Amino acid sequence: MKREIRWIEEIRGAHHELLVKLTFRLSKIVEQIGKSRVYRSISDQRGDVPGWVLVVLMTTGLVTAIWTIAAPRLTAILKNSLDAMNGIR
């Protein structure tokens, strides 16, 4: 049982780390797109890219906050599911 809990915690930590890495990578990609000549020549609205960066960062923040709050319940659900699967054998 401790092994499953440790495994679940490792998965949760890995998901959180992956989410943070993806957030930083996505913000760099959005920044690079905003700096490109093609984008600047097509776009007439200069404030559009910072707006999208803000939307991406706010969305990521919300997902992280919800994940942090919901993680214990999700862990319990996964643990109960694994326990139920062990009971089938």
Number of domains in the chain: 1
Q: Is the pLDDT of residue 70 over 60?
A: yes
With a cut of 80, say whether residue 38 has pLDDT above it: no
Give dist(CA 51, CA 15) in Å, integer.
27
Pick from 36-40, 49-53, 68-72: least confident: 36-40
89: DSSP letter: -
34 lies in which domain range? 2-88
Q: Which tokens hold the place of 30?
A: 């959005």
Residue 44: pLDDT over 70: no
Predicted confidence band of residue 49 (pLDDT cuts 50, 70, 90)? low
CB 26 within 8 A of CB 58: no
Ramachandran class of 43: left when φ > 0, alpha when ψ lies in -120 to 50, beta otherwise? beta
**How sure is the predictor about 57, in pLDDT bands with cuts at 50, 70 and 90?**
very high
Please, what is the Cα angle at 65 between 61 and 70, to 5 degrees? 145
Whether pLDDT at 45 is above 60:
no
